[in-house]
Amino acid sequence: DTGVSQNPRHKITKRGQNVTFRCDPISEHNRLYWYRQTLGQGPEFLTYFQNEAQLEKSRLLSDRFSAERPKGSFSTLEIQRTEQGDSAMYLCASSARAGTSGGAPLADTQYFGPGTRLTVL
Amino acid sequence: GNSVTQMEGPVTLSEEAFLTINCTYTATGYPSLFWYVQYPGEGLQLLLKATKADDKGSNKGFEATYRKETTSFHLEKGSVQVSDSAVYFCALSAQGAQKLVFGQGTRLTINP
């Protein structure tokens, strides 16, 4: 188990440029999440995949943001026409389905990567 | 909507002091509750969790009890160490959902 990895760890870009981040989850995990964390705040949910299907997207995810998980393994998060307000830490997490208890789904334990820090100048 | 409110920080304590970081939540049904910790320069790590009322999560000397009646999940440790210095996040996942909703985090500094 090598943990969740994210690349790059740091990205500095100019306003208006496109950027792409990559996340490699723990190998047997079928669920993958993206969060955004700004300074002094807790992470905020962006989107979630189960295998290759994108099952939920936050209203925070404007149409400049797109995420993919084409083969149900690694995922990419692209931001087009970056703005200064996009500067943040982008976190990826993965989990294995926890199963059910009494017919109700159990909450997965999510394992987080180190994050990609984006700075938009 | 679902939300988590954490005790404002930063919190500074001396080594071996007793720690409490308050966390309350708003959610419908029966959410699962988590504490995550972020050590300097590292990613978020799960510290402990509880999935139903009156459950107690524990790890590394930290404990938190899921209190449905007060909608709380306060983090406690009897004797803190310098190595516990980190940012602590309380979080929930709503019943039937997978995404985590986090509090704003509490920065803890332990002085020797």
Give me the tens of pLDDT residue by residue for chain B, a chain 112 residues long. Answer: 899 999 888 999 999 999 999 999 999 888 999 999 999 888 899 999 999 899 999 999 999 999 999 999 999 999 999 999 999 999 999 887 889 999 999 999 999 9
pLDDT top residue among A32 and A72: A32
- What confidence tens digit (pLDDT) does each residue in A70-106 have? 988 999 999 999 999 999 999 999 998 766 666 666 6
Largest CA distance in chain B: 43
Identity at B44, one-letter amino acid code: L
Alpha-carbon distance of B29 to A92, in angstroms, equals: 27
Cβ-based neighbours of B34, under 8 Å, separated by 6 or more: B46, B47, B48, B49, B90, B91, B92, B93, B100
A28 confidence band (pLDDT: 50, 70, 90): confident
Q: What is the pLDDT of residue A105?
A: 60
Closest CA to A88 of A39, A15, A16: A39
**Contact call for B96 and A104, based on CB within 8 A:** yes
Alpha-carbon distance of A109 to A91, in angstroms, equals: 15
Partner residue opposite B43 with nearest CB, options A58, A107, A114: A114
* DSSP-derived secondary structure for A18-43: -EEEEEE--TT--EEEEEEE-TTS--
Q: What is the pLDDT of residue A96?
A: 87
Q: What is the pLDDT of residue B55?
A: 93
Task: Count other C-beta atoms under 10 Å from residue B87's C-beta.
Answer: 19
Chain B residues with CB under 8 Å of A106 CB are 32, 51
Alpha-carbon distance of B40 to B42, in angstroms, equals: 6
First-last CA distance in chain A: 36
Partner residue opposite A107 with nearest CB, options B4, B43, B51: B51
Chain A residues with CB under 8 Å of B32 CB are 106-107
Which residues 64-83 on chain A approach chain B with CB closer than 8 angstroms? none
Chain B residues with CB under 8 Å of A108 CB are 93, 98
Q: What is the pLDDT of residue B59?
A: 96
